Structure 1
Amino acid sequence: MTLIDTDTELAPLEFAVTKNLAAKSPAQREEILADPGFGTSFTDHMVDICWSTRGGWHRPRVSPYGPITLDPAAAVLHYGQEIFEGIKAYRHADGSIHTFRPDQNARRLQRSARRLALPELPVAYFLQSLRELIAVDGDWVPSGADQSLYLRPFMFAKEAFLGVRPAHKVAYYLIASPAGAYFKGGAKPVSIWLSEDYARAGKGGTGAAKTGGNYAASLLPQSEAYENDCDQVVFLDQDRNVEELGGMNVVFVFKDGTLVTPQSESILEGITRDSILQLAEDRGHKVERRAVAFDEWRRGVASGDIVEVFACGTAAVVTPIGALKGRDFFDEQPSGTLALELREELTDIQYGRREDKHGWLVRLDA
């Protein structure tokens, strides 16, 4: 498979492929695909590529899915030098398999790597890893409504060394999991809990990188959200501006049709969010990326200036926000139609039901 990086011409990697002799039978696989849930079942194979300061990217492999052997002194276990991505593969009506804007995921992985002092995987190698996995596990891409194959690329420091410095040996892996709806009940409005005691990230921190530590920091406040009968948690920065949810970006729709999304150096740039905003602009909506004070959110809802609020991300796509809850308040959020209209438009493009005017789709099985 020959792939050319959009920045630099690279020869394709030569992957060694070892088939999984204990792979699921077609009947077992179909039983899983009938109700895949989210992130609980995995395909039969995985991809891995090694990196070292001496050898660069080397030893690309497709091998049976299974445990990873790590030295107890591996740097990732002690210093959290780790990043990941989330991307989906979609089955189209003609049986072909496509993914959505993978170059953007590849470049975000590079930005995350830069921040975590990890090597930057070339875009061409990222794309080739997706194709190599689909070549052996393409049958795992489901065809049911709102179903997809969730692809999880990740990279971590594997050097056995307890000194505090960037690791000299790193591993890149790609695994995949058949997925249904992220939230039970699909795209129904969710309730959001305001985290007032905890921060997801800070100025100069790793908030703009997709690294596990950011999500680990969100788990305790997420548990607090569950304890208060909420589905998700929203974080504020030190100036009480809205940042993002535990795993999704936030978008506000104003009564004049303007869409506003919070932006700062500590917010992860969302590929789904940017795609949704592009589709809104295509419809003639004005889009703003700026700081949004928490008080502006509450005042806007109370006055009617904000007519809709929704969250978006790779896993959940688009989800309306129906309620915002804090220790001493409960604000119902206004309902509208734009979020679900944009969700339908985006998913129609992803599943090949609508014209891809922006050239976002990339076929993986050809």
Structure 2
Amino acid sequence: MADSSPNKAQAPRQTGAFGTEFISKMAVAECIDGVWQPARVVPVAPISLHPAAHVLHYASTCFEGMKAYRTPDGHTRVFRLDRHMARFGRSAKQLYLPFPGEQVVESMVREMLAECDAEMPEPPKALYLRPTLIGTEANIGAAGAPSRDALLYVLGSPVGDYFTGGAKALTIKVEEEAMRCAPGTGQTKTGGNYAAALRQVIEARENEGADQVLFCPGGDVQETGASNFFLLKDNCLLTKPLAPSFLDGVTRDSVITVAKDLGYEVREEDFTVDDIQDWIKDGEAFLSGTAAVLSGVGYLLCRGERLVVGDGSMGPHTQKLRQALTDLQFGRVEDRFGWLS
């Protein structure tokens, strides 16, 4: 299923934009009639799919996003690999996709990293890892049936900041009508969820200059198109509790753990757009995610107004949390939580 012929490999676009450049090899494994074949590491190249492949018609796909870092000891460490593997397995189960097991995927990641060690970027860059699982059975009559065949592959992309402008505070559009995704798939990292949010995000960017959209159907604050959302004031951190309507971000969990370790009071509670408007008068807001890491919010486009968050820049508490998290990720401080492996 994977066409790894070197002469067909496509050179990565040299734009420098997040996710557009790739290391030279990828790890791949195929499931045929429910049986997984041995994994291998091959040159990055186009993959061959039958036009009736399940994924192309019924969106049977899920993925993970995590990062590997070059630490001061010269080793490559993956941040919270076990947590990402567990979520990958849950996503596959939700979509009834064949899954080879967390240990198999972890081994694929590590083998690819070992073979491409010379391509590992140095700090402050990291290697973004994208394990992807797709249904490949050729059957356009299988709308109500799972794919028995699948392809699993792992890509590596050297990356810097996700948002242009680096640590510059973001402008976020508040959307109170549309939902980001169907509630039952909110905790599944599947492409359909991102497709469902794409129109709102693009229109907010093109028409209003927003960097992202915060989905708050009926005024209930949930998440943005690709990140979890936090409010921060004085010694208190506020975020929505986990629910089927949005993703249980690994970075979200990391932020909460680090905040508690630093002495912040963490409140996981439902809150509304009205609550946000009151909070940001003298508080802070930020987004968290593997790609975004921890990005401050400077402005909210809300109910026809442009509202400033604090003084419009990344707040001091947000900066403190971001520094504490990135110090852990890059191995600049003791790995007291056992997150690097």
**Same structural fold, with TM-score higher than 0.5 when normalized by the shorter chain:** yes
Equivalent residue number for residue 103 of structure 1? 82
CA distance in 2, matches of 1:168, 1:23: 28
Equivalent residue number for residue 72 of structure 2? 93
Equivalent residue number for residue 127 of structure 2? 149
Return the letter of the residue paired with 1:171: L
Deviation of the 1:81 alpha carbon = 0.7
Give ranges in structure 2 of 5+ residues lacking alignment.
Answer: none
Residue number among 275, 287, 293 corresponding to 1:311 in the alignment: 287
Deviation of the 1:19 alpha carbon = 9.9
| Cα deviations by residue, 1:311-343 (Å, 9 ceiling, x for unpaired) | 110011001100000351111112521111111
Deviation of the 1:300 alpha carbon = 2.5
Moved more, 332-341 or 217-226: 332-341
Equivalent residue number for residue 329 of structure 2? 350
Return the letter of the residue paired with 2:295: T
Contact 1:20 1:63 in 2 (8 A): no
Moved more, 181-190 or 312-321: 181-190
Q: 1:325 to 1:54 in 2, by over 3 A?
A: closer
Q: Secondary structure at the match of 2:284?
A: strand
Return the letter of the residue paired with 1:109: F
Equivalent residue number for residue 31 of structure 2? 51
CA distance in 1, matches of 2:339, 2:171: 31
Deviation of the 1:290 alpha carbon = 2.3
Residue number among 218, 236, 240 corresponding to 2:216 in the alignment: 236
Equivalent residue number for residue 299 of structure 1? 278
| Cα deviations by residue, 1:180-204 (Å, 9 ceiling, x for unpaired) | 111122111000012244221233x
Mapping for residues 224-263 of structure 1, pairs under 5 Å: 224-226=203-205, 227-237=207-217, 239-255=218-234, 257-263=235-241
Residue number among 199, 219, 241 corresponding to 2:179 in the alignment: 199
CA distance in 1, matches of 2:16, 2:333: 25
| Cα deviations by residue, 1:119-157 (Å, 9 ceiling, x for unpaired) | 344221121111111122122211142x01111101010
Equivalent residue number for residue 7 of structure 1? none
Return the letter of the residue paired with 1:333: V
Q: Secondary structure at the match of 1:245?
A: coil
Q: Secondary structure at the match of 2:318?
A: helix
Q: Secondary structure at the match of 1:243?
A: coil
Identity of aligned residues (%): 38
Residue number among 41, 45, 57 corresponding to 1:66 in the alignment: 45
Equivalent residue number for residue 164 of structure 2? 184
Normalising by structure 1, what TM-score?
0.85
Equivalent residue number for residue 9 of structure 1? none
Taking only aligned residues, the RMSD between alpha carbons, in angstroms, comes to 2.2
Deviation of the 1:258 alpha carbon = 1.9
CA distance in 2, matches of 1:186, 1:350: 17
Normalising by structure 2, what TM-score?
0.91
Q: Secondary structure at the match of 1:135?
A: helix
Q: 1:258 to 1:201 in 2, by over 3 A?
A: same
Return the letter of the residue paired with 1:60: A
Give ranges in structure 1 of 5+ residues lacking alignment.
Answer: 1-17
Equivalent residue number for residue 114 of structure 2? 135
| Cα deviations by residue, 1:247-271 (Å, 9 ceiling, x for unpaired) | 110111134x221111322110111
Contact 1:76 1:156 in 2 (8 A): yes
CA distance in 2, matches of 1:190, 1:121: 39
Contact 1:36 1:178 in 2 (8 A): no
Contact 1:19 1:45 in 2 (8 A): no
CA distance in 1, matches of 2:94, 2:319: 34
1:325 aligns with 2:301: yes
CA distance in 2, matches of 1:38, 1:113: 26
1:77 aligns with 2:56: yes
Contact 1:23 1:44 in 2 (8 A): no
CA distance in 2, matches of 1:48, 1:195: 39
Return the letter of the residue paired with 2:293: V
CA distance in 2, matches of 1:58, 1:295: 53
Contact 1:20 1:45 in 2 (8 A): no
Q: Secondary structure at the match of 1:41?
A: coil
